[in-house]
Amino acid sequence: MAILRQIGTMIYRQRLAYIISLHILFAAFSLFLSFLLRFDFTLGQHELLHDPTLYPRYLFYSLPINIVVFVVFSALFNLYQGIWRYVSVDDLKDIVKTSALASLVFMFCIVVSGQFRGYPRSIYFMNFVLFVLLNGGTRFTIRIFRESFAPMSDMVRNVLIVGAGAAGNEIAKSLKSGRSREYIPVGFIDRNKALRGQRLQGLKVLGDLSSLRSHIKKRRVNEVFIAIPEATNKVVREIMDAARIPEWEVKFKIVPSILDIMSGRHTVNKIREVSIDDLLSRPNITLDDTHVRRQLAAKTVLVTGAGGSIGSELCFQVASYRPARMLLLDSSEQGAYTVDQELKRRYRDISIHTVVGSILDNGFMEPLFRRYPPDFIYHAAAYKHVHLMEWNPMACLKNNVLGTAQLASLAEKTGVSQFVMISTDKAVNPAGTMGISKRLAERIVLERYPSKTLFNAVRFGNVLGSSGSVIPLFQQQIREGGPVTVTSAETKRYFMSIPEAVQLVLQASSLNESNVIFMLDMGEPIRIVDLARNLIELSGLKVGEDVEIKIIGMRPGEKIEETLLSDTENVVRTRFEKIRVQKNFRRDPERMERFVHDLKSNVDLGNIRAMYNDLKELVPEMIGPSFEELTATMFS
């Protein structure tokens, strides 16, 4: 490694010496050429001059001054640091600034010295212009030559960019300056008809969406890049529909969303495949993170279930607000390790402690809270697989209900400022054990005796891409050639992306409410069969021809439709447009305390009948399972 560093240092020094030498030549030649232009290439050898050698002497003696001044100002404006083959307009601005200030200082030195009476004033201006032309022209010539003669990839693909804005400009620049010409941008399409005919990065805006198909055929386009970070799901769908040609295969890619860019996980020029998230038929939400930043900065934050889908995204978004310390808790060693390594790589200034264990284990939870008292707890740990929990109700209730109760008690004892529980729409009129356990966990969190800790729950629908969600299952079935299995043609679910779900959690917690349930305005539910169809099409396949969709019927714990509210719940608006809050419900902390005590005993003793009676009493709105169904599914 030491040898490699020495070689790297040597190469850098050689490159720096070469670039400084070029700048010396630029400064010398610009002044020399200025004198030649000023005196019609006679350099002052004119019969009317009293001393024909005057101006050659002026050039000779002022040349070192010009070189020193220009070399120093080139260093001040970092002209030696840029990579010439990637020169941009910003680099040209620095060259102009360097030349302007250096020319003024050069003029000041000539005038103040008193040794150059009658020094031609036009020399100063020409010297400025010529240095810009020589320095900038050389750099841009190298870039043009490189882009024109860059090696072509074996699989060259023509690309049409939809969106002639800042993101489209960045994408075009990245594609044109790439080492290998795998993607060749052929032009832009923009919804704004007024931009037609204009140029970005030398590429023409060809038209609007109505002309998309014709330009795909005419220019033999292989891929369409959607360069609109703020694009809603509806806009993405419109673009894809406008570009589809039955006899022509076109792939789609998209720049990250505004949310992904804000979270720091992606930059605007990181193009990616269009995913099912981009096609959800509901509006995107935006984050007003002022209050979140003020709340989390320099604090200690505990995230349970940190290795899971929601938990890991919580970790990344929380870290972007620069807390002083983060505690990552997960029962999965691999999940905890993965998020621990990535967080420590990205955020070296945050103290990160990763703990492998269960929230039910008081033997290490209490010492953890004593050593690192958290200010905020985001409780994402839970068993959530609906069908698996139907077969393991004891484990589900123990982890989701008793684990939450123990964590909430520890939060009160150590003076945690706020406890936020991640809930689900399956807690509303629950049809299965998992939904019942989450409804009970909600009540345990919200129905507590007054304390310094603010308790609230955040309830939302299905999360795309989470472990155990329907999306990975469908994708696996598509890879295997189908069929894609759907429980019912009428099954509907609310969907949101993982970043949006976490966004809701952080926004809701910044409202500093207590004993409330926050909900997102999620728009209209999506039919699962439509979701399956979209995934098949995104894979470049056709429904019915390449992959079939098969209806298999409802399974235990499932409902045709989910809802975010029960009949007895009412919501009111918050200051965030997409967040509602439900706060007016009857509380019975004494009954919940007694239930937790009884549940511990019943689980330990295996007293299923007593446990079931408590469930029916505390969650009277549950629509299943019956006691017979509950016991029938256990260990089956």
Q: Kindly report the backbone phi and psi dihedral angles of residue 71, in degrees, each rounded to the nearest multiple of 5, phi listed first.
A: -65, -40
- Contact criterion met (CB below 8 Å) for 258 and 230: yes
Residue 561 is given by DSSP the state: B
∠ CA(223), CA(500), CA(233), 5° rounding? 40
Q: Tell me the pairing of strands 300-304 and 325-330.
A: parallel
Q: Among residues 308, 384, 362, which one has the least CA distance to residue 600? A: 362
CA distance 203 to 162: 12
Which two structure tokens, joined as six digits, stand for 609?
């009948």
What does the buried/exposed string (b/e) look like for 209-248 if buried means 16 or more CB atoms within 10 Å of the residue's CB? beebbebbeeeebbbbbbbbbebbbebbbebbebbeeeee
Which residues neighbour 279 within 8 Å (Cβ) at sequence distance 6 or greater? 233, 236, 237, 240, 534, 538
- In whole angstroms, give the CA distance from residue 71 to residue 239: 51
Location of structure tokens 């941009």: 88
Q: Which residue's entry shows tokens 């080492």?
A: 179
Name residue 294's amino acid. Answer: R
Could you tell me how many residues make up the chain? 636
Residues in CB range of 5: below 8 A, 6 or more apart: none
Q: How many CA atoms lie within 13 A of 373 on its CB side?
A: 10
Q: Which residues contact 58 (CB under 8 A, 6 or more apart)?
A: 116, 119
* DSSP-based three-state secondary structure for 516: strand
Left (φ > 0), alpha (ψ -120 to 50) or beta: where does 197 sit?
left
In what order do the strands lie in the sheet containing 203-207?
199-200, 203-207, 181-189, 152-162, 223-226, 251-254, 272-273
Contact 110, 116 (CB under 8 A): yes
The answer to whether residues 117 and 80 touch, using CB atoms and an 8 Å cutoff, is no
Say how far apart CA 51 and CA 558 lie, in whole Å: 103
Long-range CB pairs of 296-299 (<8 Å, 24+ gap) are: 296/321, 296/322, 296/323, 296/376, 297/321, 297/322, 297/323, 298/322, 298/323, 298/324, 299/323, 299/324, 299/325, 299/375, 299/376, 299/417
Cα–Cα dist 96/244, whole Å: 47
Catalytic residue among 299, 384, 398, 426: 426
Please give the structure tokens belonging to residue 533.
């169809």
426 part of the active site: yes
- Supply the residues annotated as catalytic: 426
